[in-house]
């Protein structure tokens, strides 16, 4: 088990790095993991640290945490006993049946962040490297909802689904009317995805698809957000900065501007963008592999004074 600081009001505990899937896009695959496994004393120490920091939410992740069913329940109970208000479970939901969903809820799981990677069964199973994963995931989601757990979905957009984001929203609204939150990820070129760069979506195609999906989500009263593992603001989100987690968290933490994690950069199209301080840019590999396709400044910087200022409607001298 490992502990990590995640965001600014959350704690992240990785119960195990083992997983029942072999996702082609996994950015923390077990074969790349070099961290140690924490014992029970370390678990208590990590919880104490988060509690002392007034952490309101702890996310339990992996790997796939439901592999260690009994240990997962014990950890959830420890979190709640230590005063953690919200315990969020990151899972692919494949191993969650009706009984275990009830056990999780009774132990204190308040929400589940479920990797329903695609609404299309064959694509979902192919990306996860697991036969029948889509059916099992849907059953797991049903079980969690029935047990009273707040379920939030995490699709992962790839090249094959870059124009189908709106269809995903339609599927969720019809199949799971109780679900009201979608965190729209796109492939990160790390871990296994670094060996499968062909999965990277084209932002020029994804941007319009996101704009359409956002309209559908709003009409169906589903909140949709752009996480750190999502896309640059200019790719379908330029008029919805308040739904971009990266911008919200960084500005709230440090008013001087954005601090990304060193795995993104601003390319030439970003140089004159007025939103640059709110956006980390694109993954390094995206600039190389996709050539920055689809990235362009939605709001350009207005220089404080230029010789032609008098000729510009938006500037005066």
At 77 the pLDDT is 96
Q: Which two tokens stand for residue 88?
A: 């969020």
Give the CATH superfamily of 2-257: Aldolase class I (3.20.20.70)
CB atoms within 10 A of CB 35: 12
pLDDT tens sequence across 37-96: 666 777 778 888 998 888 999 999 989 999 999 999 999 999 999 999 999 999 999 999
| Cβ–Cβ < 8 Å for 200, 285 | yes
Confidence of residue 204 (pLDDT cuts 50, 70, 90): very high
Please tell me the distance from the alpha carbon of residue 224 to that of residue 207, in angstroms, as a whole number: 14
At 301 the pLDDT is 79
In sequence order, the 6+-apart residues with CB closer than 8 A to the CB of 294 are 202, 203, 204, 205, 206, 207, 235
Please tell me the distance from the alpha carbon of residue 235 to that of residue 291, in angstroms, as a whole number: 15
- Residue 74 bridge partners (DSSP): none
Average pLDDT of the segment spanning 233-243: 95
Please tell me the distance from the alpha carbon of residue 20 to that of residue 69, in angstroms, as a whole number: 13
Q: Which two tokens stand for residue 195?
A: 């060996």
Average pLDDT of the segment spanning 120-146: 98
pTM beyond cutoff 0.85: yes
Question: Could you give phi then psi for residue 91, rounded to 5 degrees?
Answer: -155, 160
pLDDT over 70 at 305, yes or no: no
| Cβ–Cβ < 8 Å for 165, 119 | no
Confidence of residue 308 (pLDDT cuts 50, 70, 90): low
Average pLDDT of the segment spanning 262-291: 92
* Domain residue limits, the chain: 2-257
């Amino acid at each position: 088990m490992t502990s990590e600081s995640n965001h600014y009001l959350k704690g992240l505990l990785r119960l195990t790095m083992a997983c029942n899937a072999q996702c082609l896009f996994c950015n923390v695959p077990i074969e790349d993991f070099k961290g140690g496994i924490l014992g029970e004393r370390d678990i208590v120490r990590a919880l104490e640290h988060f509690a002392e920091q007034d952490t309101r939410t702890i996310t339990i992740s992996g790997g796939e945490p439901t592999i260690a069913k009994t240990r997962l329940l014990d950890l959830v109970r420890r979190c709640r006993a230590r005063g953690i208000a919200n315990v969020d479970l990151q899972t692919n939901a494949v191993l969650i049946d009706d009984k275990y969903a009830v056990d999780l809820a009774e132990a204190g799981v308040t929400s589940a962040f479920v990797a329903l990677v695609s609404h299309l069964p064959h694509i979902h199973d192919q990306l996860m490297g697991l036969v029948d994963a889509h059916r099992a995931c849907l059953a797991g989601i049903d079980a969690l909802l029935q047990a009273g757990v707040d379920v939030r979905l995490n699709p992962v957009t790839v090249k094959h689904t870059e124009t189908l984001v709106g269809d995903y929203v339609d599927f969720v609204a019809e199949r799971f009317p109780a679900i009201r939150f979608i965190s729209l990820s796109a492939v990160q070129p790390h871990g296994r995805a670094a060996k499968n760069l062909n999965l990277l979506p084209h932002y020029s195609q994804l941007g319009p698809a996101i704009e359409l999906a956002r309209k559908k989500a709003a009409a169906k009263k589903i909140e949709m957000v752009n996480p750190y593992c999502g896309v640059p603001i200019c790719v379908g989100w330029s008029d919805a900065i308040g739904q971009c987690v990266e911008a919200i968290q960084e500005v709230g933490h440090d008013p001087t501007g954005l601090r990304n994690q060193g795995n993104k950069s601003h390319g030439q199209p970003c140089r004159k963008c007025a939103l640059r301080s709110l956006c980390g840019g694109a993954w390094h590999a995206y600039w190389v592999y996709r050539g920055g396709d689809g990235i362009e400044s939605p709001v350009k910087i207005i220089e404080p004074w230029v010789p032609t200022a008098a000729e510009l409607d938006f500037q005066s001298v």
